[in-house]
């Protein structure tokens, strides 16, 4: 494929398919949080008071902002805000949890996107990397 944004497009198509698929009434983002929370009690604890309905909607939107950031390579107000929420001055999310976050998201995508391949996995990792790096880098800077 000659498209300049090949991996971004592959990722976006996979994300769309994953969002549309429902397994036993469990949606993609429900499954993501189930996997993510199962990875460590520390993670589950961080969300103990969170209203998960609203959280899932915010996550769904934020993944699209992460895709836009991969294309634009320019932080907007939204990216600055979520970086601040996760930074040392607020939720204090350590860098290593971002790997667990991405692995959990990919695990859920593999289950929910019936066309998921190794190439799709690379697309998820490449398209989301700039946003994740931005958030990690901003940890102690806001």
Q: Is 142 in the site for ligand HEM (CB under 6 A)?
A: no
Half-sphere exposure of 96 (CA within 13 A, CB side): 4
Q: What are phi and psi for residue 122, nearest 5 degrees? A: -60, -40
**Which segment (2-10, 12-20, 39-47, 109-117) binds ligand HEM by CB under 6 A?**
39-47
- Residue 133 backbone dihedrals phi, psi, to 5 degrees: -60, -40
Tell me how long the chain is.
142
Applying the rule CB under 6 A, the residues between 92 and 111 that interact with ligand HEM are 93, 97-98, 101
Q: Which stretch binds ligand HEM (CB under 6 A): 5-13, 14-22, 67-75, 78-86?
A: 78-86
Partners of 23 in the β-ladder: 26
Buried b (16+ CB within 10 A) or exposed e, 10-49: bbbebbebbbebeeeeebbbebbbebbeeeeeebeeeeee
Among the residue ranges 11-19, 22-30, 86-94, 110-118, the one whose residues contact ligand HEM (CB under 6 A): 86-94
Nearest distance in Å: CB 47, ligand HEM: 6
CB of 8 to ligand HEM, least distance (A): 16
Task: State the nearest-atom distance from the C-beta of 24 to ligand HEM, in Å.
Answer: 25
94: left (phi over 0), alpha (psi -120 to 50) or beta: beta
Residues in the site for ligand HEM, rule: CB under 6 A? 43, 46-47, 49-50, 55, 58-59, 62, 66, 82, 85-86, 91, 93, 97-98, 101, 131-132, 135
């Amino acid at each position: 494929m000659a498209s300049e944004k090949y991996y971004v497009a592959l990722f976006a198509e996979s994300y769309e398919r994953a969002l549309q698929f429902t397994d036993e009434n469990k949606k993609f983002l429900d499954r993501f949080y189930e996997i993510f929370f199962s990875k460590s009690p520390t993670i589950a604890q961080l969300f103990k008071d969170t209203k998960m309905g609203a959280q899932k909607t915010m996550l769904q939107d934020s993944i699209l902002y992460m895709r836009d950031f991969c294309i634009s390579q320019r932080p907007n107000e939204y990216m600055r805000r979520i970086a601040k929420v996760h930074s040392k001055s607020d939720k204090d999310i350590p860098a290593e949890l971002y790997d667990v976050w991405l692995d959990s998201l990919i695990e859920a995508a593999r289950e929910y996107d019936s066309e998921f391949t190794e190439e799709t996995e690379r697309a998820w990792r490449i398209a989301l990397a700039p946003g994740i790096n931005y958030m990690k880098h901003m940890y102690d800077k806001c």
